[in-house]
Structure formats: structure tokens, C-alpha cells
Amino acid sequence: MGMFSRITDIFKANVNEALDKAEDPEKMIKQMVLEMEESVNKTTLAVARGIANEKSLFKKLNRAKEEQEEWQEKAKKALMAGREDLAKQALEKKSISARNEKDLTPLYIQAKETADKMKSQLDQLKLKLEEARQRQSTLIARSQSAKAQKLISQSFSGVGSDAFSKFDKFEGKIETLEAEAEAFGHLAGGDTSLEDEFKLLDASSSDDDLLRLKAEMGLLDSPKNNEKE
């Protein structure tokens, strides 16, 4: 009965816990189904042996009953022939067959009960195995879906999102460089405007110097001369 206990433990195992501990849940599920199939095959062989033992005892028990009837008839035939000695020997054989029947009866009853119980348990195990086979594809699909969901969750939670983080940082650096370039552009534009203003001032100063020089040389027309003309 140890084999039945082992198979029962397999089917009663916590699948979720097994999946959590397994490095490859899909491989673990397939392996569990293979173990179930192997256990059912071994149990089927044990049940077959139990049934064979039951049938063997059943034949021996029936044979003991038939022998009693046969020796009973032989004893009667011997008496009819006036052979009491033969009748006595026949009755002794009948007695032996009766003792065999008595000894075989409890053995057969026990063997039949055991075989019936084993057949019932085997039928249950086959049903569980069939259920496991049907659920195998569903569990594998759930495992694959869980892996995908875990990967997405890790990405959103920051686990395994180095590429996304690096991309964001790189974009930030580019934005910083663009801002700095724009700032330097403004500064460069301000300096140019300031230089132009100083140039204008220098030009005005040169014009004043030219007028004073012309005045000293008498080259400037006075307002009175212009009026006489």
C-alpha cells in the first residue's frame, strides 16, 4: 500500500508552491505528469498481480469443492460394489478437500477485498491523471502569462528598466546641451549689440573732430556768408 500513499501525495501536492520553487515551472509541470503516469503504470501492474492472485485462489477453492463432491460419489459407488475399504479411502480424500476449502476460503475473501480496493483506487488515480493531463496545457499557459506579467511589472517598478532609464538620462543631457547653446547664443548676441553701440559712439566723436578741424581752417561756411549769397 506504500505505492498508493506515494501516488496520493503526488496528487495532493501544492502545485503553486512547486511552481514557486521551480526554476522552470513548465518543465516542472511536465515532470509531475510523467511521475503520475509512471506511478499509475506501476500501480496497474500491482493491481493485475492482485487480481491474478484472487483468481488463482478462486480456482483452488472451487476445485476443493468439486473434489469433495467427486470423492463423495466415489464413496457411494464403492459401497454399492461392496467395497467398504475403498469407500473409506474416498471419504478420507473428501475430508482433505474439505480442509483445503476451509483454509482457502478466508484467503480468497481477503484477496478479493484487496483486489477490489486496489481496482477502485486505480480507477480514481486514472481519473486524477486524466484531469492532470487536461489541466497541463492550462497551467503552462498560466505560467507563461505570469512570466510576461512579471516582466511588465518589473519594468514599471524599475526592475530591469536600465535601458529606459539610460534613454531618459540621455534625452535630459541633450535638452541641457540645447539650453546651454541657446544661452550662449543670447550672450553672443548681446556682445555684438554692445560693440555696435561703441562703434556708433566712435563715429560720432570722429565727426565732431572733423568739424572742429574745418572751423580752424576756415573751411566751414558761416551762416552770414550763406545769407549774403
Half-sphere CA count of 226, side-chain side, radius 13 A: 4
Task: Please indicate whether residue 97 or residue 212 has the higher confidence score (pLDDT).
Answer: 97
Instruction: List, in order, residues 6 or more apart from 219 with CB less than 8 Å away.
Output: none
104 with 62: CB under 8 angstroms?
Answer: no
Rounded CA-CA distance 80/64 in Å is 25
87 with 79: CB under 8 angstroms?
Answer: yes
Judged against a pLDDT cut of 80, whether residue 122 lies above it is answered with yes
Number of helices and strands in the chain (H, E) = 6, 0
Express each pLDDT in 180-214 by its tens digit. 777 776 666 555 556 666 666 666 666 677 777 77
Express each pLDDT in 37-56 by its tens digit. 888 999 899 999 999 999 99
40 with 129: CB under 8 angstroms?
Answer: yes
pLDDT of 1 reads 47
SS3 for 209-224 is HHHHHHHHCCCCCCHH
Rounded CA-CA distance 130/33 in Å is 10
Task: Please indicate whether residue 229 or residue 161 has the higher confidence score (pLDDT).
Answer: 161
Cell of 160: 530591469
105 with 61: CB under 8 angstroms?
Answer: yes
SS3 of 202, please? helix
Judged against a pLDDT cut of 60, whether residue 227 lies above it is answered with no
Task: Please indicate whether residue 164 or residue 97 has the higher confidence score (pLDDT).
Answer: 97
